[in-house]
Amino acid sequence: MESRSRLSIICSHLLPGSPSPPSRLSSSITSSASINDAAGDTRNHQLDCVFCRIVRGESPAFKLYEDETCLCILDSSPLSPGHSLIIPKSHFSCLEATPPSVVAAMCSKVPSIGNAIMKANGSDSFNLLVNNGAAAGQVIFHTHIHIIPRKARDCLWTTESLRRRPLNFDQEASQLVNRVREQLSSISPEDGKDSRI
């Protein structure tokens, strides 16, 4: 995969054919882990993974929060001041490979960390973002959640000026709902307990 900024990748998915965003917002973090095999040799991925090196103390990072399951660090190429990443301390290449208990532990930290970041830098809001898979713009194949602080009219996302189209309550939408429900029904009872459609 050619080396492109995360913002360029995200923008290309949100607004295909649009020009690249300004280079001042570009990111140069890339992973040396293999992109082709997300479920490959975990040991090699852990040795090569920048987040695993940070967890082991082998690479520098500004740590904002740490517990037994996860770590929150400042992004080394932030899209805005305070842009942070919540990462699990164990190596999981993507969201599907991450146990629900780990995802829950990471997500449970978002309100307190997000609010602390907003208060610290005077932000109005924040985006919560997961790039899951190469087509979604994931460049480091270790599950992580982005907390991206925002201020009114910061124009970070090109698509914010676009009008959203209302959902058509038609056969295509109905078929999509049925296909998603079918996929959800194949989830083991443990994973999908207390769910109703």
Residues designated catalytic: 144
Rg of the chain taking only CA atoms, in angstroms? 18
Residue 110: strand, helix, or coil: helix
3-state secondary structure of 86: strand
Work out the widest C-alpha separation in the chain, in whole angstroms.
54
What order do you get walking across the sheet with 145-150 strand by strand?
63-66, 70-74, 84-88, 145-150, 125-129
DSSP characters for 18-84? PPPPPGGG-------S-SS-TTS-HHHHHHH-HHHHHHTTSS---EEEE-SSEEEEE-SS-SSTT-E
Quote the DSSP letter at residue 135.
G
- Give how far Cα 75 sits from Cα of 38, 64, 174, 185, 194, Å: 22, 11, 40, 37, 36
